[in-house]
Structure 1
């Protein structure tokens, strides 16, 4: 490389850094610095007064984490209950919203369908509606005298008091068969101060209603991702499978879905992150009730810090939640890797599809 070329490359590099410097400073100021401050708070005895870096704040190591994870008591039990609630929330919301959004995208991807623009807008509309407004609407729909219970009463059944019933749906079903209390094998605390019978309770009736709301409000967004991916597929592959005699279901499961693997990875990743961070629906709707059956780690972190003034524990819960999300994301990344000809797994390609123009 000549001296002139090296000088030009140096000027280009300098110009590039100057153009990116503003966003680097913004991210550093509003993202990196707060994360580092929260990490320090999680290992200190900061009381929320003054600066967390003042001389009166001491380093206490992993004491905040120990109180949550290892020391028996109310704080450990609350975290265990919140983890159980959120685990059921994730296990139900992520698969349901992924499958539903893929089915919706397949439906509105048909060019011959009449009113396809209307249906695309209608399916996507709940995703852009205020979460607070949707939560208030949901509280009305599933109230004791709401439309859902009225509809259930028409078929001769008594609808549940959705947001007041603390029982898990698995316990409700077990009660139909006469199993009202915990068997002796499940009566002792199993993990994080929560008994095995409580771990197996399933989501409460109130959490089940919130799960339905989450699927209703998020499927439209992920539908756009799948729709963009479907429109980017080569139609000749599907036509070749049709010529070979493959039916519609076979073509969808064996031809279309494997080609959507990068988009499925993106949707599942975003779903995992969003469901483990659920907060606004809980804060607006139930505040963790009834009997803490809708308590989540994100809401528990808020209450521990802002209401209980246990700022170190609140920050510690946030970082535990961060590690849970990262671990599960890496696990599903490993599970969704493509296999090469030798049976080895390859990393999933980053999806190149976007939702831009998909709702047109």
Structure 2
């Protein structure tokens, strides 16, 4: 049922680094076991995370212009009408959920994660992260009650400039929509197709198979299973957290959220030790009880980097954008071995 399909190639060139000696290279095409979309593995050894000096992004002049800093947030950020949120916003600890002043969708909220303008990975604490995710989950439940047609929920996070984050001050995208978007829709449809065909849940089967093979299996907890993606979406790889037995927003209880946050902190420790200072995070939910049998809540985390610190080119280019073809310069199996010890130190 679960198939890890790949095609290895042999590319030959006369390499100037070896006095134009004939050299064989071995890029690989991998097929995602759910969507069957392809990912290229190649460019090995040519790309590595670039350690960025973030301190220059944390000065008083920048903070004066930042709408999310404590001195500005009350006067520079919008609020929801009272029929949506009576106070205009949601708040838990330092986390504050507000409307996006330039919305993407019917309900396009932002969660300002912390009062701190420059929240480094080292600064991430359990309480800060938990409050941020919790206020987003609370918003989804409110919208489900008031506007049930906006049933597709996606939580995204562009952290630091290489990820595409427009503001350094940490904030998450909290979207509720009538339309899931292309990739989210494909995940839902293919999960449903798999369930109808095999009478079993793809995500459960994936975790079981990965645990059996033990090549990309990172960790299994009470509520979550962590993997490195067989067909990663990012140049620096991709990490997946599958929520065991959880499908909809309402399925996430306090214990599950706390486990997710603790696991994220372990992943962030690994990032710090490997000069990764930026990432994209996406959290996907089944839209309704009727569709939960085939779909598990899961998070995808993609590290991001500039390719160099001279021109600061992004790590996304024509291949990803105009061919919709991800590529990774790292084998998921190697990344798994590197990150696994961070989950064992509990």
**TM-score, normalization by structure 2:** 0.27
Larger % of helix: which?
1
Larger % of strand: which?
2
- Which structure is richer in relative contact order (CA contacts within 8 A, separation 6 or more)? 1
